[in-house]
């Protein structure tokens, strides 16, 4: 490809509406342009990078035995009503009507469509298992589209769905997909971790997110420094350093005035006690009734864990009136002592001694509160993991890292096959619901995540497998006929050898061309200049690491080939 002919509008300035490095660089490198919030044009350079990711995904999915299909983006509401998600999904689902006033949505995910496809075609256990995937455009009306391709409203996803007669078969495919995803992200040269993820209503440990480690990641991950344990902070378990209560205290409970001091910070500053010496009491409304939750003052309650501990289908922080009804006090003064509702305490509370808690009356707290002696809660792990917590699997320590979720695998069980009556006949001729799994990869997000991990002050540093071009040829001065002749010859030779080459044939200053080369980040640059040519030499420069070598003109193509294929 000739730079002069390519729609490759590089920008010198960083666009003001870009927030993260990948978005800035994709804009500056002429890869993407915004059409509307979360909706982008992919320019040739952008599309080439995205196609590289797609290619790897497709190869590995095919190798894993999955079959590619293509489903429609516009989906009739009937299917979503059958599964119950038409009402559940909320505003991310973009709904529309056709000329006959029939309701449709733009597919944000395709469990309904594929379950419908399979229930029409599959009758017997003999036709199972099946794994069907597509690489297709999704639409989710995200509340905060941002970060370019990372969180778009319209974006390309690889979504796969598997169908099984038995649980064992579904578990095997889950493992197969786990390994396939690992290979895909390794081939994309990403530094990532597979982390245990929240499964929502379905439960079990059958969901992993594949997280690319990057400071700009929107998710927090707790990862062990000794073993392979890693989990989304939403679900990371915590090994309490010491969960056995010590000898009980003989100090008596005492009420103290705390006028207008409601928050942990205010109370701890006022009483000159560290937040870790306070018990934080939060009142929750749940489908299992009203509960008071207790965590150590310096920790945060984790609502997902609370939901699981209560086996509740929803939990919601009580409003002023609810708190008042449960404690008889305004918000900010709740405490466990004397409270008549269900108490659920985090494990960290069990070992607290002479703690401070709310007095259940206005402007007062009590000190010298001792769990066990002064109140008897149920205990459960209901707090967020923090840096330095003990690993739940080994003696190691957890650290908190930021991650970008690029993939998600999930064992669905019979959620959709049950609600949509997708069944098969087993060996005994009995009708059973099909067992399902689903597996997604954000294609554009993966390309963006690669840039988050591979860039410097000058631009993108593409890893070879995702690079839009293998090699860039830069004639320093296109007014010099000798330079142009050699550059054209090398360009033709490389193309002949099956290498995807960009020739910067623009009549621009060398500085401009080098800046753009660094910005767009092609792994290898071959620079052809008059001075080197006189000695029969050209320069090869690697974008990653910056290594430069002068090689004989006649050997340049062979050396470049060795680099690209190596």
Window contacting ligand ATP (CB under 6 A); options: 169-177, 436-444, 506-514, 520-528: 436-444
Q: Which is nearer to ligand ATP, 349 or 406 (CB)?
A: 406
| Nearest-5° Cα angle at 153, 151 to 158 | 75
**Strand arrangement, sheet containing 501-503:** 501-503, 471-475, 524-528, 537-542, 548-552
Specify the residue, 323 or 406, whose C-beta has the smaller distance to ligand ATP. Answer: 406
Tokens of 500: 């995807």
Contacts of 314 (CB under 8 A, 6+ apart): 286, 287, 307
For ligand ATP, the closer of residues 217 and 523 by Cβ is 217
DSSP-derived pairing of the beta strands 279-286 and 289-296: antiparallel
Stretch of 118-126, 394-402, 441-449, 462-470 contacting ligand ATP, by CB under 6 A: 441-449
Residue among 331 and 443 whose Cβ is closer to ligand ATP? 443
Task: Rule CB under 6 A: choose which of 30, 46, 148, 152 binds ligand ATP.
Answer: 152
**8 A C-beta contact, residue 407 and residue 441:** yes
Convert residues 308-337 into a mask of x (bound to ligand ATP by CB under 6 A) and - (unbound).
------------------------------
Please count the residues of the chain.
566
Residue nearest to ligand ATP (CB): 442
Q: How far apart are CA 148 and CA 153, in angstroms?
A: 10
* C-beta closer to ligand ATP: residue 368 or 384: 384
> Minimum distance between the CB of residue 191 and ligand ATP, rounded to whole angstroms?
16
Stretch that binds ligand ATP, among 149-157, 174-182, 322-330, 334-342 (CB under 6 A): 149-157
Query: Do 352 and 371 form a contact (C-beta atoms < 8 A)?
Result: yes
Identity of the residue, 23 or 281, whose beta carbon is nearer to ligand ATP in the bound complex: 23
CB 32 within 8 A of CB 44: no
Helix (H) or strand (E) holding 46: helix 44-63
Stretch that binds ligand ATP, among 11-19, 76-84, 373-381, 402-410 (CB under 6 A): 402-410
Q: How far is the CB of 445 from ligand ATP (least distance, A)?
A: 4
* Residue nearer to ligand ATP on the CB measure, 335 or 444: 444
| Contacting ligand ATP within 89-118 (CB under 6 A) | 109
Indicate which single residue of 217, 277, 413, 442 sits in contact with ligand ATP (rule: CB under 6 A): 442
If one counts every other C-beta atom within 10 angstroms of the C-beta of residue 73, the result is 16
Q: Is 155 in the site for ligand ATP (CB under 6 A)?
A: yes
Nearest to 237 by CA among 225, 248, 245, 229: 229
Angstrom CA distances, 402 to 18, 54, 229, stand at 20, 25, 15
Asked if 234 interacts with ligand ATP (CB under 6 A), we say no
For ligand ATP, the closer of residues 39 and 512 by Cβ is 39
Closest separation between CB of residue 137 and ligand ATP, Å?
Answer: 11
Can you tell me the distance from the alpha carbon of 561 to that of 243, in angstroms, rounded to the nearest whole number? 61
Asked, as a colleague might, if the bond just before 20 is cis with ω within 30 of 0, I would say no
* Only segment of 80-88, 366-374, 437-445, 553-561 that touches ligand ATP (CB under 6 A): 437-445
30, 335, 407, 529: which one contacts ligand ATP (CB under 6 A)?
407
Q: Is 406 in the site for ligand ATP (CB under 6 A)?
A: yes
Pick from 239, 408, 415, 506 the residue near ligand ATP by CB under 6 A: 408
Look up residue 350 and give its two tokens.
């069990």
Element holding 267 (H helix, E strand): helix 264-271
Number of residues that bind ligand ATP (CB under 6 A): 15
What gap in Å lies between CA 366 and CA 468, rounded to an integer? 65
Give the distance from CA 209 to its chain's centroid: 7
26 CB contacts (<8 Å, ≥6 apart)? 32, 46, 148, 149, 448, 451
Q: Which residue, 234 or 516, is less far from ligand ATP as judged by CB?
A: 234
Nearer to ligand ATP among residue 38 and residue 371 (C-beta): 38
Shortest Cβ distance from residue 161 to ligand ATP (Å)?
Answer: 12
Determine if 437 is a binding residue for ligand ATP (CB under 6 A). no
Q: Which of 440, 475, 521, 529 binds ligand ATP (CB under 6 A)?
A: 440
Identity of the residue, 157 or 522, whose beta carbon is nearer to ligand ATP in the bound complex: 157
Task: State how far the Cα of 170 lies from the Cα of 183, in Å rounded to an integer.
Answer: 20
Find, among 546, 549, 523, the residue nearest to 538 by Cα. 549
* Residue closer to ligand ATP, measured from CB, 445 or 506: 445
d(CA 279, CA 334): 10
Closest approach of ligand ATP to the CB of residue 154, in Å: 8
Give CA angle at 370 (368, 376), nearest 5°. 145
The minimum distance between CB 408 and ligand ATP, in angstroms, equals: 3
In the chain, the N- to C-terminal Cα span, in Å, equals: 22
Write the burial class of residue 389 (CB in 10 Å: 0-12 exposed, 13-18 middle, 19+ buried).
Answer: buried
Closer residue to ligand ATP (CB): 22 or 370: 22
Q: Going residue by residue from 119 to 148, which x/- string records binding to ligand ATP, judged by CB under 6 A?
A: ---------------------x-x------
Footprint of ligand ATP on this chain (CB under 6 A)?
Answer: 109, 140, 142, 151-152, 155, 157, 405-408, 440, 442, 444-445
């Amino acid at each position: 490809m000739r730079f002069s002919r390519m729609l490759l509008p590089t920008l010198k300035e960083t666009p003001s509406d870009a927030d993260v490095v990948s978005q800035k660089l994709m804009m500056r490198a002429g890869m993407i342009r915004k059409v509307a919030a979360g909706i982008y044009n992919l320019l040739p350079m952008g599309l080439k990078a995205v196609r590289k990711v797609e290619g790897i995904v497709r190869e590995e999915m095919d190798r894993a035995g999955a079959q590619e299909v293509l489903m429609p983006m516009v989906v009739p509401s009937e299917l979503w009503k059958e599964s119950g998600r038409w009402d559940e999904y909320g505003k991310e689902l973009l709904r529309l009507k056709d000329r006959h006033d029939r309701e449709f949505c733009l597919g944000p995910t395709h469990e309904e469509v594929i379950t419908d496809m399979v229930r029409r075609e599959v009758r017997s256990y003999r036709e199972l298992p099946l794994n069907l995937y597509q690489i297709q455009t999704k639409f989710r009306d995200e509340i905060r589209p941002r970060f370019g391709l990372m969180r778009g409203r319209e974006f390309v996803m690889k979504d796969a769905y598997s169908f099984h007669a038995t649980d064992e078969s579904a578990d095997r495919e889950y493992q197969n997909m786990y390994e396939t995803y690992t290979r895909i992200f390794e081939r994309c040269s990403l530094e990532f971790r597979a982390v245990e993820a929240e499964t929502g209503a379905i439960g079990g440990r059958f969901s992993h997110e594949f997280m690319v480690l990057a400071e700009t990641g929107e998710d927090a991950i707790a990862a062990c420094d000794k073993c392979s344990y890693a989990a989304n902070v939403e679900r990371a378990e915590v090994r309490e350093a010491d969960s056995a209560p010590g000898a009980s205290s003989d100090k008596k409970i005492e009420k103290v005035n705390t006028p207008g001091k409601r928050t942990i910070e205010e109370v701890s500053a006022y009483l000159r006690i560290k937040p870790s010496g306070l018990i934080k009491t939060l009142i929750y409304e749940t489908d299992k009734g009203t509960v008071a939750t207790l965590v150590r003052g310096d920790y945060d309650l984790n609502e997902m864990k609370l939901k699981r501990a209560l086996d509740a289908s929803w939990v919601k922080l009580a409003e002023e009136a609810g708190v008042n009804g449960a404690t008889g006090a305004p918000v900010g003064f709740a405490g466990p002592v004397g409270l008549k509702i269900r108490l659920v305490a985090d494990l960290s509370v069990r070992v607290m001694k002479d703690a401070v808690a709310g007095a259940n009356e206005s402007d007062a707290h009590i000190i010298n509160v001792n769990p066990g002696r002064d109140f008897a809660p149920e205990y459960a792990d209901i707090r967020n993991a923090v840096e330095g917590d003990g690993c739940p699997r080994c003696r190691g320590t957890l650290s908190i890292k930021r991650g970008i979720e690029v993939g998600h695998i999930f064992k669905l069980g019979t959620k959709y096959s049950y609600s949509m009556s997708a069944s098969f006949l087993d060996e005994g001729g009995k009708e059973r619901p099909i067992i399902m799994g689903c597996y997604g990869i954000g294609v554009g997000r993966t390309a963006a995540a690669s840039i988050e991990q591979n860039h410097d002050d000058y631009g993108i540093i593409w890893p070879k497998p995702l690079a839009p071009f293998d090699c860039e040829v830069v004639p320093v001065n296109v007014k010099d006929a000798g330079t142009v002749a050699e550059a054209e010859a090398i360009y033709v030779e490389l193309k002949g050898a099956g290498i995807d080459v960009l020739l910067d044939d623009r009549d621009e200053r060398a500085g401009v061309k080098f800046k753009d080369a660094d910005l767009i980040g092609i792994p290898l640059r071959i620079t052809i200049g008059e001075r080197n040519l006189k000695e029969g030499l050209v320069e090869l420069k690697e974008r990653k690491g910056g290594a430069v070598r002068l090689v004989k003109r006649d050997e340049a193509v062979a050396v470049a080939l060795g680099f690209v294929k190596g």
